[in-house]
Amino acid sequence: MKSHPHHRTALVVVSHPDAASFNHAIARDSAAVLEALEFTTHLCDLYADSFDPVITKGEVRGQRTGDQLTNMYISLLASAELLVVVHPNCWGAPPAMMKGWMDRVFAEGSAYAFEKSCDQGDVPRGLLRIKTALVFNTSNTGEERERVEFGDPLERIWRDCLLQYCGVQRTIRRVFRIVATSSLRHREEWLREVRQIIEDAVLKSD
């Protein structure tokens, strides 16, 4: 019999149009290792779900969305204790599909709130229960060029602009590069690393 004092929930979100991509392999292996660690795990494939990333006029003004899938995503995010996101680095930012998941799903009232109950530029209160977030990115830019020429804006977007704002204190990020020219053997090594990073993150947070 399995010994789990309480059911923990994990959410894995992937944004890549090709189900045969390395991004999808990372997402599948992340979900598998989380299941093995006895997390109740949801894997959201934004392309397979035909998620609409375009935020509406009502939503930017703080209204609750009427979109059924977006509401389901909001519930999954609100109940998750561990989050894994997987996407390629695309112009130093997430691709539009993942960006829309950030725009619409990290909603006022469920991911964060203002003391004055609307945005007047003041500091918000994070509402998420997530203890650890893991960000896996793929890239075709070398590490030094990314740092010196581009400044790696993705790091700050996820860690500082979004997750910390919504109450997530611990973000672990790993970028795999250069994916375009990587060998199968190299990718298998990277997948072992993904599983190890997740196991370590879960064990350290226990």
d(CA 203, CA 60) in angstroms, rounded, equals 38
Question: According to CB under 8 A, which one of 93, 113, 127, 175 is a site residue for its own copies?
Answer: 93
Told to check if 5 binds its own copies by CB under 8 A, we report no
Stretch that binds its own copies, among 12-20, 78-86, 127-135, 185-193 (CB under 8 A): 12-20
Does residue 141 bind its own copies (CB under 8 A)? yes
Q: CB of 54: closest distance to its own copies in angstroms? A: 5
The position carrying tokens 């973000």 is 171
103 in contact with its own copies (CB under 8 A): yes
Which range of residues in 1-9, 76-84, 93-101, 190-198 is near its own copies by CB under 8 A?
Answer: 93-101
Question: Does residue 102 belong to the site contacting its own copies (CB under 8 A)?
Answer: yes
Q: Which of residues 15-74 bind its own copies (CB under 8 A)?
A: 16-18, 47, 53-57, 59-61
DSSP class per residue in the chain: ----SS-EEEEEEE--S-TTSHHHHHHHHHHHHHHHTTEEEEEEETTTTT------HHHHTTPPP--HHHHHHHHHHHH-SEEEEEEE-BTTB--HHHHHHHHHHS-BTTTEE-TTSS-SS---EE----SEEEEEEEESS-HHHIIIII--HHHHIIIIIIITTTT--EEEEEEEE--TT--HHHHHHHHHHHHHHHHHHHHHH-
Closest CA to 86 of 35, 140, 135, 22: 135
- Shortest CB 134 distance to its own copies, Å: 18
Q: Is 119 one of the binding residues for its own copies (CB under 8 A)?
A: yes
Residue 194 C-beta: closest distance to its own copies, Å: 21
Mask of contacts with its own copies, 174-193, x by CB under 8 A? ---xx-xx------------
* Residue whose token pair is 């996101």: 85
> Tokens standing for 173?
């990020």
Give 122 or 206: the residue with its C-beta nearer to its own copies: 122
Where on the chain is the footprint of its own copies (CB under 8 A)? 16-18, 47, 53-57, 59-61, 88, 90-97, 99-100, 102-103, 106, 118-121, 140-142, 149-151, 153-154, 156-157, 160-162, 165, 177-178, 180-181
